[in-house]
């Protein structure tokens, strides 16, 4: 796997849209591994959304520490306190083509990480060329502030440029927060039982007739 970031690259500014927010995105070219954007939570908190880097392993581990045991369980379908070295490598050393991951941080002195999201194309046979599996992990202290929607919208914008028209999520049936979040997003959602305890939700990125 290749490192995601070339820190010495020249950058330029693009004006992009994320939901109802306007922000300046830095990218070379648009939607590459150097993708960086500024956005705003409902309470006015400014956040940075950027492509995850191979050097972000500690930040990813920090997100794991900062979220609840329940959130980790719902994300990984098992009790999990930290990521292994192999998992950290897989989650941070990405190609930004078939595997895209974004990290969201506060604009504070420590650049505190508060969320991470990713989609992976072709990771299961049923997805097809236009499908990708979506996964999000959001710090509970910033939920209900539009953070999940910001992350989803950035990922969706990138996905469309990569030829992806559908996100698929596998969600435990008792994960009401994630289920409600997606059902109330701006995208059309369909769902079915994958197994008795897991829903398979399909997010149609081409159909913005959802509840939002």
pLDDT of residue 11: 26
pLDDT of residue 211: 65
Residue 182 to residue 201: CA distance in whole angstroms = 8
CB 180 within 8 A of CB 208: no
Quote the distance between the C-alpha of residue 147 and its chain's center. Answer: 10
Q: What tokens appear for 16 in the block? A: 């992009």
pLDDT of residue 195: 82
Condensed to tens digits (0 to 9), the pLDDT of residues 81-99 reads 999 999 999 999 999 999 9
Name the pTM for this structure. 0.84
pLDDT-based confidence at residue 42 (cuts at 50, 70, 90): very high
CB 31 within 8 A of CB 158: yes
CATH 3.40.630.30 is the classification of domain 12-204:
yes
Q: Is the pLDDT of residue 26 over 60?
A: no
CB 50 within 8 A of CB 154: no
- Where do the domains of the chain lie? 12-204
Condensed to tens digits (0 to 9), the pLDDT of residues 107-155 reads 998 899 999 999 999 877 778 889 999 999 999 999 889 999 999 999 9
Q: What tokens appear for 31 in the block? A: 């939607």
The residue ranking higher by pLDDT, 31 or 15, is 31
SS3 112: coil
Q: What tokens appear for 103 in the block? A: 């990290």
Residue 206 to residue 196: CA distance in whole angstroms = 29
Q: Which residues contact 199 (CB under 8 A, 6 or more apart)?
A: 170, 171, 172, 173, 179, 191, 192, 193
pLDDT of residue 124: 74
pLDDT-based confidence at residue 32 (cuts at 50, 70, 90): confident
């Amino acid at each position: 796997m290749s490192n995601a970031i070339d820190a010495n690259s020249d950058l330029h500014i693009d004006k992009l849209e994320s939901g109802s927010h306007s922000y300046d995105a830095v990218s070379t070219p648009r939607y590459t591994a150097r993708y960086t954007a500024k956005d705003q939570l409902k309470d006015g908190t400014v956040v940075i959304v950027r492509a995850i880097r191979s050097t972000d392993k500690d930040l990813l581990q920090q997100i794991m520490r900062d979220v609840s045991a329940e959130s980790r369980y719902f994300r990984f379908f098992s009790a999990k306190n930290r990521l292994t070295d192999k998992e950290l490598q897989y989650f941070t050393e990405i190609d930004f083509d078939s595997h895209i991951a974004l990290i969201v941080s506060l604009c504070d002195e420590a650049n505190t990480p508060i969320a991470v999201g990713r989609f992976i194309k072709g990771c299961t046979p049923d997805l097809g060329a236009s499908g990708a599996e979506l996964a999000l992990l959001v710090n509970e202290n910033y939920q209900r502030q539009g953070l999940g929607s910001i992350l989803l919208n950035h990922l969706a914008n990138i996905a469309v440029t990569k030829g992806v028209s559908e996100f698929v999520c596998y969600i435990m049936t008792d994960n009401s927060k994630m289920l409600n979040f997606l059902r109330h997003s701006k995208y059309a959602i369909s769902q079915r039982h994958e197994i008795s305890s897991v829903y398979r939700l399909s997010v149609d990125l081409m159909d913005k007739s959802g509840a939002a």
